[in-house]
Amino acid sequence: MSCIAVDGGPADVCANCGSKLGSDAVKLKNCTACCLVKYCGVDCQRAHRKQHKKACKQRAAELKDEQLYSQGLERPEGDFCPICTLPIPLQVNEHSGFMVCCMKRICFGCSMAAQKRGMFDCAFCRTPVSDDDDLTRIQARVSKNDPVAIHYLGQKYFWRSWRSTALSLSVGFCRTPFWREFRASNADPDTTPERKLSQVAESRSRKGSDSSIPGVLSE
């Protein structure tokens, strides 16, 4: 429901005295609360307040609701297919596939459309699909400081129980006492390579360089 100006007159005239925009020394300004009417000055706004008050409050409440309920409804960029640019239906993981070659999430509709045309490679970057060298492809993206690849690799290490290595990677981005304590509590004292990764990652993170993560993987 929307309101109309209480005087019902043209939009480019003062709601109180009727002065038109473009007249000599007349500069109209909107009512800041509702933007329904305009006034040539503060005196006209005060004189017209009693007549305009009800419509002004109603429209101001509508504008506040529009602003309040329009926030937080936007879906993140990763929920949109980069090919058709349409939002992927929820749950996203059930209606799309994540391609490690380009770090893009492709909806099943675009994947099926490509396959019907005889294209069985990645529908986005045309890289041949293979499960054998997934880690190599992920690390290649990590070496280019792709934040999506770094996050994806960290998740893979974590959920495959390579916890110390995953936490080593996290140090470069979350330099907090919580993560250092959590890493220490989950570290295995007998795993020297993982401890080395942890020490190298932490020492390099202190230098403030996020680009140290690819170096940690290669050592």
What confidence score (pLDDT) does residue 24 get?
A: 61
- Measured between alpha carbons, how far is residue 23 from residues 11, 30, 219 in Å? 15, 17, 76
What confidence score (pLDDT) does residue 58 get?
A: 92
What confidence score (pLDDT) does residue 213 get?
A: 46
103: left (phi over 0), alpha (psi -120 to 50) or beta: left
Read off the pLDDT of each residue in 96-123 and give the average, rounded to a whole number. Answer: 90
Question: What is the rounded CA–CA span in Å between residue 55 and residue 5?
Answer: 7
pLDDT in tens, 19-52: 776 656 678 888 888 888 888 888 888 889 889 9
At 71, is the pLDDT very low, low, confident or very high (cuts 50, 70, 90)? low
Residue 99 has φ and ψ, to the nearest 5°, of -100, 115
Read off the pLDDT of each residue in 109-114 and give the average, rounded to a whole number. Answer: 92
Read off the pLDDT of each residue in 182-201 and give the average, rounded to a whole number. Answer: 48
Question: What is the rounded CA–CA span in Å between residue 105 and residue 103?
Answer: 7
Q: Which residue has the higher pLDDT, 81 or 177?
A: 81
b/e map 133-160, b = 16+ CB within 10 Å: eeeebbbebbeeebeebbebbbeebeee
At 198, is the pLDDT very low, low, confident or very high (cuts 50, 70, 90)? very low
In sequence order, the β-bridge partners of residue 87 are 80
Read off the pLDDT of each residue in 144-149 and give the average, rounded to a whole number. Answer: 82
Lowest mean pLDDT among 24-33, 101-110, 174-183: 174-183
What confidence score (pLDDT) does residue 21 get?
A: 67
pTM for this one? 0.43
- Averaged confidence pLDDT in the chain: 72
What confidence score (pLDDT) does residue 175 get?
A: 40
Read off the pLDDT of each residue in 191-195 and give the average, rounded to a whole number. Answer: 45
3-state secondary structure of 54: helix
Judged against a pLDDT cut of 60, whether residue 176 lies above it is answered with: no
What confidence score (pLDDT) does residue 105 get?
A: 92
Read off the pLDDT of each residue in 86-104 and give the average, rounded to a whole number. Answer: 89
Read off the pLDDT of each residue in 106-110 and give the average, rounded to a whole number. Answer: 92
| Cβ neighbours for 124, distance < 8 A, ≥ 6 positions apart | 82, 83, 99, 102, 104, 106
Read off the pLDDT of each residue in 118-131 and give the average, rounded to a whole number. Answer: 86
What confidence score (pLDDT) does residue 78 get?
A: 82
Specify the residue for token string 């069985």.
120
Q: Which structure tokens are listed for 172? A: 């470069």
